[in-house]
Amino acid sequence: MFSFKKFIFESYKGEHEAPDKESGAPLHDVTANGIYPKDVYSHKGFEYYGNQGNDYDQKAFSVIQRMKDKPEEKVWIHRAVPKSVHKEALKTDTPLRHMIRPGDWVTTSKEYAKEHGEHALKGDYHIASMRVPAKHIFTDGNSHLEWGYDPK
């Protein structure tokens, strides 16, 4: 049977799959699986691998360096979700679990999540945020602003 609520929750996932523990490297060791070279942690790391195009980029990159070798350290993750998903999630006992789910794309930058909401969701969004251990988010090396959430 078709469920509109399930459709709303499933339909905003995005076009491409977020990295996970099988395909990416965890925040506490972005060099795992050869995703980034060891110099990502050097004083030149941001120069080599950062975007340097906006105010929040340096702050987001510093999270990588700060979380090195700290798998249990908590970090804020954020996700822009459509207002319709936010509204339905608030009707559940665990709203955050309906807005930030395993397999979702997340970011450590609230500013980046807002930018995504303004552009990809055309301003019709809310920001969902929660703290998770560094070992639960993964990068595929394409951007230090985009992470996959995999709490397994």
In the chain, % helix, strand, coil (3-state, to 5) comes to 40, 20, 45
Indicate the pLDDT class of residue 2, thresholds 50, 70 and 90: very low
The pLDDT assigned to 1 comes to 47
Q: Please report the beta strands in the chain, taking only residues with DSSP state E, as ranges in sequence order.
A: 25-26, 74-82, 105-106, 125-133, 137-139, 147-149
Tokens standing for 67?
A: 């979380």
- Does the pTM of the predicted model rise above 0.85? yes
The residue that leads in pLDDT, 33 or 152, is 33
